[in-house]
Structure formats: structure tokens, C-alpha cells
A and B are shown apart, each in its own frame.
Chain A
Amino acid sequence: QKEVEQNSGPLSVPEGAIASLNCTYSDRGSQSFFWYRQYSGKSPELIMSIYSNGDKEDGRFTAQLNKASQHVSLLIRDSQPSDSATYLCAVKGPSGTYKYIFGTGTRLKVLA
């Protein structure tokens, strides 16, 4: 059973819409949660990190964490064609460990 699950997509949204990306994780002791964007053929780049329940906003991006349901999400407002990429959810294990588990990613396509 995968420890970090993401829908592989593609998720297609029109330009200007809100894209909603979701991730669930299995380890209740997980402490830190990250969203990365990866363009085809490139390395992952960190978009957001979140550590406590609730929402965290950074520009057009909002990360949401619900530890009770073991769910992390990323909202992208006013989606642009340049947002078309694969979005990776990553989860860091309990305090004291530096093991990271990545989901397989959701491919987002923003249609102009």
C-alpha cells in the first residue's frame, strides 16, 4: 500500500480557474508536508510547506492540512498555462527521522 497517494491525473482546468490538488498519507506521525512542482524533464522545485492544521497561503497558492483525515491539498488560484506541470506531495516522517515519502504526482494541465 502506498504511503502517500495522489491521483495521477491529468487534471485539466481552464485558464483563470482554481486547480485543486489532493494528497492523502498513511503515517499519522508525519510532521511536515510539502508540495513540489516538476516540469517535464526538470527537477522538482518547492512551492509550499505546511506543518499545522489549517490553511497556508502564498500568492496564488494555498496549502491545506487536515491531520485528522490525513489529507493535504494545494489550491492554485487564477491558474495559468505556465502552471501546467506535475505536482508532487511529500511527507516527512515523525520527529527524529528525516525520511521523506513522495507521492507519484498529479499532472495538471491548464488550458488557454
Chain B
Amino acid sequence: DSGVTQTPKHLITATGQRVTLRCSPRSGDLSVYWYQQSLDQGLQFLIQYYNGEERAKGNILERFSAQQFPDLHSELNLSSLELGDSALYFCASSVVGFGGYTFGSGTRLTVV
């Protein structure tokens, strides 16, 4: 157990639907990061939150959004899903600027 908890582990949904992925960071970490990993794109940085505020955006689509709550857990919302959104979604947490990231075990999203 890395200390970063992601739920659900697996999700199967239809095109056009909306899903929410949840992440609880490691205790004490204020930064949360979301990554997408598909077979052809590798690990892509989506977005970072720090203590409730958005800090950095990567290759995140407009159909996707995220937020970090006062208890520091984060949610990634994916809407109008397409087949190409099928991927592993990882959450990581860190102390900004120091040490390493701790990744969760990921959510495998399958869009059918």
C-alpha cells in the first residue's frame, strides 16, 4: 500500500457518459497530480492541485475537470466519454519541490 488510495479500481461505461474518479493522497501531502496512461501515449500529466487550488495543467481535455476538497482528497471528472478515453488513470501525491511522488494503483477506465 503506497498510501495513495484510488477508487474505483475498474470502471466500465458507455460512450457519452460521465464518470468520477477519486483519489486520497498520502497523509501530509498537499499536492495531488492526475495522470493518464494509454497504450499509445504513455504517461501523460493532466493536472495538479495544491491545497485546494489548481497549480498546473498538462494535456487535459476540456471534457475533463478536477477539484481538490478541503480534506485534500481529489476527484477527476470525465464527461462525454469517447472510446479513446479508455486508459489507466493514476493519481499521485507529493510535497511540492521535494522528494518523490507517491502514486496510487490507478483506475482502469474502459469506455464501450
**Are A and B interaction partners?**
no
Residues of A within 8 A of B (CB): none
Binding site for A on B (CB under 8 A): none
